[in-house]
Amino acid sequence: MNEEYNGFEQNEEQSNTFLNEEHVTFEAEAEEIPVFEQQDSQVCFQEAFTSKPQNKNKRINPLMVALSSALMLCLIIGTVVAFNNKDFSNSLKNGGVNYHSSNVTAANVANTSEGQFVPTGTELTTAEIAAKVGPSVVGIESKITSINIFQQQTSNTATGSGVIVNEDGYIVTNYHVVEGAKELKVILNSGKEYPATLVGYDERSDLAVVKIEEKDLAYATFGDSSQLMVGERAIAIGNPLGTELMGTVTQGIISAVNRTVQVEDKTLTLLQTDAAINSGNSGGALINAYGEVIGINTVKMYATGVEGIGFAIPSNEVKTVLDDIISYGYVRGRLVVGVTGTNITEKMSKYYELPIGFYVSEVREGYGAYLAGVEVGDVIIKCDGKVIETIDDINKIRDSHKVNDYMEIVVSRNGKNVTLKVRLMEEKPDR
């Protein structure tokens, strides 16, 4: 896990925004009394998928925290791209993107270098692209059930998009589209419906793979996202606002490449586009002028007066993650400490008389922190000799290590500092 930071954003009215040429910084309104907000550094995206309550008398508690700011980054449910099974392994080896993530609280957006444009075939019209890729884009419905604080069962159906990755029924989508789903259903472009199973997922990259039992399916091909150039045509295909608008095609350009977007404590390197992306598009395909998928739509920024700022996971990273998920069911090499908690800000430190650092509210059994003796109520103040102020600080130091390395942490416990050595294990789903 991308050390656990269980914070979520809701689509609430925002204030106090600072903008400059390269950054968008969100500053939350100050509160009179600091509040502990449990944070999970694995993935803290706001989910903006389309949901349909199953019972009007029942209500799902989303456990979200509203953050005051002028702009918001939201996850959107989008389309899935299909791959040819024979070409899949080879396509995954065509370049890779090193991915280091931390969760998203406030959104900072920064520029890095642009790609080099290399033609890969004959340009297609938008109509030709829609005809070529459209059949590989599917709808995904996730049935989610939970028990609320009144011990009542709640039920909801969330809808998103996915892309078929090979003719044997493997489909890629966003993790937040299928997270917590008890049942999954895939709806093809033709309208035919299939039950689906979850093959695996990667919370850090917000990607997941599901599978249906069908053969000879239409599937999409991936392009090389490292070759993209700002200003290139970009086409998005997905299911905005649910399956009623399945297969919607929108067009724009690549607005920026290698855009660093910080959402809570997660830092993502994404493609930016002005192609219209809405709730229901999460997991959707972003396509170049040659009919190749060059991104999986995942996040958009919105606020009054802000339009046309959407983001997609680059195809090269998608390939790398998919290769591991299909082969092993998870992404190898992801390090995890095994703690959940919240950042102690300067204001909280004064109010609660705790040191600035990361407050531990849960220790995950079986992982390094648990085995090293980290306890609920500890505040992590140092890692490998460096002062810690946020979970992002911990994640950066953690990611500089390898599997089974030890990371030395110092925790404040009952007014005393305790030094512990935490073995960094490889994270596996349902460990």
Domain ranges of the chain: 17-328, 335-426
Q: What is the distance between the alpha carbons of residues 257 and 254, in angstroms, rounded to a whole number? A: 7
Kindly report each contact of residues 241-245 with a partner whose C-beta sits within 8 Å and lies 24 or more positions away, as own/partner: 241/50, 241/278, 241/279, 241/280, 242/50, 242/52, 242/159, 242/280, 243/139, 243/141, 243/159, 243/187, 245/280
Residues 148-176: what's their mean pLDDT? 89
What distance, in Å, lies between the first and last C-alpha atoms of the chain? Answer: 11
pTM beyond 0.85, yes or no: no
Provide the CATH number for the domain formed by 17-328 in this structure. 2.40.10.120
Within 13 Å and on the Cβ side, how many CA atoms surround 380? 37
Q: What is the distance between the alpha carbons of residues 279 and 257, in angstroms, rounded to a whole number? A: 22
Contact status, residue 219 vs residue 166, Cβ threshold 8 Å: yes
- Mind telling me the catalytic residues? 176, 206, 282
Residue 180 — very low, low, confident or very high, per pLDDT cuts 50/70/90? Answer: confident
Cα 152 to Cα 61, 101, 145, 239, 352: the distances in Å are 11, 36, 10, 31, 34
Residue 30 — very low, low, confident or very high, per pLDDT cuts 50/70/90? Answer: very low
Q: Are strands 170-174 and 183-187 parallel, antiparallel or unpaired?
A: unpaired
Q: In the block, which residue shows the tokens 């809701």?
A: 10
Inform me whether the pLDDT recorded for 191 exceeds 70.
Answer: yes
Residue 86, token pair as written in the block: 């024979």
Q: What is the distance between the alpha carbons of residues 55 and 57, in angstroms, rounded to a whole number? A: 5
pLDDT in tens, 263-308: 655 678 899 999 998 888 899 999 999 999 999 999 888 777 878 8
Q: What is the distance between the alpha carbons of residues 329 and 426, in angstroms, rounded to a whole number? A: 13
The residues pairing with 222 across neighbouring beta strands, listed in sequence order, are: 293
Residue 213, token pair as written in the block: 């039992």
Backbone dihedral angles phi then psi of residue 24, each to the nearest 5 degrees: -120, 115
Higher pLDDT, 236 or 428: 236
Residue 190, token pair as written in the block: 């033709």
Backbone dihedral angles phi then psi of residue 334, each to the nearest 5 degrees: -75, 125
Overall residue count recorded for the chain in this entry: 431
Higher pLDDT, 98 or 193: 193
Backbone dihedral angles phi then psi of residue 37, each to the nearest 5 degrees: -120, 115
Three-class SS of residue 91?
helix
Q: What is the distance between the alpha carbons of residues 175 and 302, in angstroms, rounded to a whole number? A: 21
Amino acid at 285: A
Residue 76 — very low, low, confident or very high, per pLDDT cuts 50/70/90? Answer: low
Q: In the block, which residue shows the tokens 């030709």?
A: 128
DSSP string, 7-41: ----------EEE-SS-EEE-PPP-SS-----B-S
Contact status, residue 394 vs residue 383, Cβ threshold 8 Å: yes
Q: In the block, which residue shows the tokens 């917590």?
A: 180
For the ranges 8-17, 139-148, 254-263, 373-382, which has the lowest average pLDDT? Answer: 8-17
How much is the pLDDT for 173?
Answer: 95
pLDDT in tens, 397-408: 999 999 999 999
Query: Would you identify the CATH topology of the domain 335-426?
Result: Pdz3 Domain (2.30.42)
Residue 12, token pair as written in the block: 């609430």
